[in-house]
Amino acid sequence: MPIKRKRSMSSFDVAAVASEASRLLSGARLVNVYDMPGGGLLLRLRGSGGDYRVAAVPGVRVHLTRFDVGGKGMPSPTVMGIRKHIRGGRVVSVEQLGFDRILVLGVEAGSGVYRLVVEVLPRGVYALLSPDGRILQLSEAREMRDRVLRRGAPYAPPPGGPRRPSQLGVEELRELLSRGGEAARVLARGLGYPGEVVEEALLRRGMKPSEPADRVPVEELLEELRRIEAEALQARGYIVYGDEGLAVTVVPFEPRGLAEEYGYTVKRFESISDALDAYFVEELRRVEEAEAVKGIEAERKRLEASIEKAKRNIEKLRERLERLDKLITLLGENMHLVYEAVGCARRLRERSGWEAVPGNCPGVVDVEPSQGRIMLGIGGELVPVDIRVEPSQLLVELSKERGEVEAKIKRGLKALRELEERLRGLRAEAEAAARRARALVRRKEWYEKYHWLVTSHGYLAIGGRDASQNESVVKRYLNEKRIFMHADIHGAPAVVVFAEGEQPPEQDLREAALLTAAYSRAWKEGLGSVDVYWVWGSQVSKTPPPGEYLARGAFMVYGKRNYVRNVELRLALGLASEEGAPLVIVGPPELVRRRSLVYAILAPGDEDPSRLAARLKKLLRGKLPEEHRPLADALSAEEIRLRLPGRSRVLRVARGDASEPPRPVKRLPGAEEG
CATH topology (fold) of 11-149: ibrinogen binding protein from staphylococcus aureus fold (2.30.310)
Per-residue pLDDT of 214-247, as tens digits, reads 899 999 999 999 999 999 999 999 999 887 677 8
Cα angle 416, 417, 421 (rounded to 5 degrees) comes to: 115
Q: Give the best-scoring range by mean pLDDT among 63-77, 444-458, 543-557.
A: 444-458
How much is the average pLDDT of 288-316?
76
pLDDT bin (cut points 50, 70, 90) of residue 549 is: low
Digit-coded pLDDT (tens) for 109-140: 988 999 999 999 998 999 999 999 999 999 99
What pLDDT shows up at residue 284?
55
Rg, C-alpha atoms of the chain: 38
pLDDT of 304 higher than 70:
yes
Q: Which residues contact 292 (CB under 8 A, 6 or more apart)?
A: 430, 433, 434, 436, 437
DSSP state at residue 446? G
> What is the torsional sign of CA 410, 411, 414, 416?
negative
- Residues 600-624 have a mean pLDDT of 95
CA 209 to chain CA centroid, Å, is: 36
Single-letter amino acid, residue 7: R
pLDDT at 673 over 90: no
Could you tell me if residue 353 is left (phi over 0), alpha (psi between -120 and 50 degrees) or otherwise beta?
A: left
DSSP string over 325-387: HHHHHHHHHTHHHHHHHHHHHHHHHHHH-GGGSTTTSTTEEEEEGGGTEEEEEETTEEEEEET
Mean pLDDT in residue range 67-81: 78
Q: What angle do CA 486, 490, 496 make, to 5 degrees?
A: 20
**Cα separation of 557 and 555, whole Å?**
6
- CA-to-CA distance for 15 and 55, rounded, in angstroms? 16
> Residue 38 in contact with residue 287, Cβ under 8 Å?
yes
Please tell me the pTM assigned to this model.
0.59
CA distance 599 to 553: 32
Cα-Cα-Cα-Cα dihedral sign, residues 347, 350, 354, 359: negative
How far is residue 422 CA from its own chain's centroid?
Answer: 28
> Is the pLDDT score of 436 beyond 80?
no
Query: What is the domain partition of the chain in residue ranges?
Result: 11-149, 165-249, 282-303+423-439, 307-421, 570-674
Residue 222's closest CA among 191, 249, 194?
191
Mean pLDDT of 142-162: 91
For the chain, helix, strand, coil in percent to 5 are 45, 25, 30
Q: Which of 451, 441, 516 is nearest to 486 (CA)?
A: 516
Q: What is the pLDDT of residues 327-375, one digit of tens each?
A: 888 888 888 888 888 899 899 888 888 988 888 898 888 999 988 988 8
Q: Which of 37-46, 65-74, 477-486, 555-564 has the lowest mean pLDDT?
A: 65-74
Residue 140 to residues 123, 137, 405, 553, 587: CA-CA distances in angstroms? Answer: 10, 9, 59, 47, 47
| Exposed / middle / buried, residue 386 (Cβ in 10 Å: 0-12, 13-18, 19+) | middle
For residue 384, what are the CA distances in angstroms to 327, 352, 357, 503? 9, 21, 14, 97
Could you please report the per-residue DSSP string of 169-231? -HHHHHHHHTT-SBHHHHHHHHH---HHHHHHHHHHTT--TTSBGGGS-HHHHHHHHHHHHHH
What gap in Å lies between CA 301 and CA 247, rounded to an integer?
33
Q: Alpha-carbon distance 26 to 93, whole Å? A: 6
